[in-house]
Structure 1
Amino acid sequence: MDVKELLVCSEEEEMRLDLFLCRHFPDKSRNHIQNIIERGQVHVNGKTKKSNYKVKCSDNVVVTLPDPVNASIRAENIPIDVLYEDKDLIVVNKPQGMIVHPVAGIYTGTLVNALLNHCSDLSGINGVMRPGIVHRIDKDTSGVLVVAKNDYAHNKLAAQLKDHSMTREYVALVEQIIKEENGTVNMPLARHPKDKIKMAVVPGGREAVTHYEVIERFKSNTLIKCVLETGRTHQIRVHMAYIGHPVVGDPVYGYKKQRFNLKGQLLHARKLGFIHPVTGKYMEFETEVPDYFKRIIEILRKK
């Protein structure tokens, strides 16, 4: 373990704790810093604090950094569904059950492992653990992802995500009947105050906007299209649960008692559109929902 002791100076007073630490550890991402805080590895004057704690002048901040893990991210011969590929990027259709990139303790079986076997030229902006990864979808969410092969393409694609110009459309089967034809959920999201695994609607959290539209109604479920204006962790899942229509099969935010034998939520990233970082042309890719998703829809149509 590497223990660092920091003293808050006058110009740093009233900074959020996570931002204060980002200033002193510029090689660490804000998300990484927040995880360290949540795990109780940061003490302010001998006590643990939350990421949004405002530091005070002369606060004594002690940070315990875990020893680095020498993770070797290996290329693995895992089949991937490639929708498009050129020298700058690759678009894939990720299956349910696959993690996008390695995380602590999981270094195999991810999309990154498969991509390294498919092509060795991936952008290095996000480091050894997330080469080429511009955006993510949850492990048990299927659908379209774009991956950058070089840093120039990565920066251009990331800019489109940031300014909300990238088209991202999902299909979800949710619980109960949505009466209105369409709607928008505009509620801020942050880590759940009591359960750090979950996200939640939290005042003061990060802006999150989800637009939804009814595709088809069943006896006690609704098939909807969701368009993301922002891209927060678990955004659709949390927003739909918040308005009383959790995604069917969601083990975290959904009903405790599920009617179908599912391996995860019925949520599919159906469409992805963006401007090619080099050619400047708009490109759009669309995939059908997976077979297990179609099977549930057919069952509901017969009821």
Structure 2
Amino acid sequence: MSEVSVVYADDTLLVLDKPAGLLSVPGKGDDKQDCLSRRVQQRHAEARVVHRLDMATSGLLVMALGAGAQRTLNAAFAKRAVHKRYVAVVDGLLTSPDADWAVIDLPILLDWPNRPRRIIDVQGKPSCTRWRVLQHNPTAQTTRLELEPVTGRSHQLRVHLQALQHPILGDALYGTPASQTKADRLLLHASRLELTHPVSGQALVFTSEPPF
């Protein structure tokens, strides 16, 4: 499985560390068929998709082995029983109004004429992100954040940080010209994954250090 690091594997599930620039699932067109799920399925034919990361995002992703495990994990995601955290570097010096975690609670809607972009719109789906500051870099004028998506909308973290006027560095869809040039990739990494094992019921916690 070229460029795909296996963090954990048993008879029920796989936890993978996806590199930036690799699709989670196939896209439209012959040039978008290489992806994490197909690379995994070359070795594990029974591997099934449970959730996705954006192509530009790196980090932890779980796949189920078999239909039963997929159903159980899908239900866990639907019930918000799977907890994910991300690390991002954003443009500007962002200060939390709270001592610890702050919340972005803004509805997200597909910008249909400009898809796959999303926008903040009152007609959108309720979307909630928790965030806290990890470190400021006054020299670079950037802020390292830890992010926890409470909901799981497409592009949620990227849209919510844009809404704060602190886009994630290297974001070609939601960044400013200045923020895009500060990094050669999207500085967003799925760094922590917590879930309950579908068979044993054991609490599992996986971590991955950001490569930036």
C-alpha deviation, 1:216, in angstroms: 0.3
Contact 1:78/1:109 (<8 A) preserved: no
3-state SS in 1 of match to 2:177: coil
Correspondence list, 1:188-203, <5 A: 188-203=107-122
Aligned to 1:175: 91
> For the residues of structure 1 that align with 2:134 and 2:151, how far apart are their CA atoms?
22
**Matching residue's letter, 1:217:** H
Report the equivalent of 1:205.
124
Distance in 2, matches of 1:270 and 1:135, equals 15
Gap regions ≥5 residues in structure 2: none
Contact 2:88–2:187 under 8 Å retained in 1: yes
Structure 1: distance between partners of 2:3 and 2:21: 13
The answer (yes or no) to whether the contact 2:27–2:33 under 8 Å persists in 1 is: no
Cα drift, residue 134 of structure 1: 0.5
Identity of aligned residues (%): 30
Q: What residue is the counterpart of 1:133 in the other structure?
A: 49
Which residue of the partner structure matches residue 27 of structure 2? 103
List alignment gaps of at least 5 residues for structure 1.
Answer: 1-76, 123-131, 294-303
Partner of 1:116: 41
- Deviation track 1:95-118 (CA, whole Å, cap 9, x = no partner) reads 000001112214532102211122
What CA distance in whole angstroms lies between the structure 1 residues aligned with 2:131 and 2:111? 23
Letter in 2 for 1:102: P
Between Structure 1 and Structure 2, the one with more strand by share is: 2
Tell me the distance in 1 between the aligned counterparts of 2:8 and 2:103.
32
How far 1:79 moved relative to its partner? 3.8
TM-score by length of 2: 0.92
Aligned-residue CA RMSD (Å) = 1.4
Report the equivalent of 2:182.
260
- How big is each residue's C-alpha offset from its partner over 1:7-32, in whole Å with a ceiling of 9 and x where there is no partner? xxxxxxxxxxxxxxxxxxxxxxxxxx
- 2:162 matches 1:246: no
The answer for the alignment partner of 1:42 in structure 2 is: none
Higher relative contact order (CA 8 A, sep 6+): 2
One-letter code of the match for 1:136? R
Q: 12, 18, 25: which is aligned to 1:94?
A: 18
Following the alignment from structure 1 to structure 2, what is the Cα–Cα distance between the partners of residues 113 and 208?
30
1:30 paired residue number:
none
* 1:217-236 → structure 2 map (5 Å cutoff): 217-219=136-138, 220-236=141-157
Matches within 5 A, 1:54-69: none
The one-letter amino acid paired with 1:253 is Y
Q: Partner residue of 1:287? A: 208
Structure 1 residue 243 displacement after superposition: 1.0
Query: SS state of the match for residue 160, structure 1?
Result: helix
The 2-side partners of 1:104 and 1:193 are apart by 17
Query: 2:79 is matched with which residue?
Result: 163
Query: Offset at 1:193?
Result: 4.9
Is residue 151 from structure 1 mapped to residue 67 from structure 2 by the alignment?
Answer: yes
For residue 174 of structure 1, what is the amino acid of its counterpart?
V
Distance in structure 2 (CA, Å) of the matches to 1:269 and 1:92? 11
TM-score of the pair, normalised by structure 1: 0.65
**Residue 81 of structure 1 aligns to which amino acid in structure 2?**
S
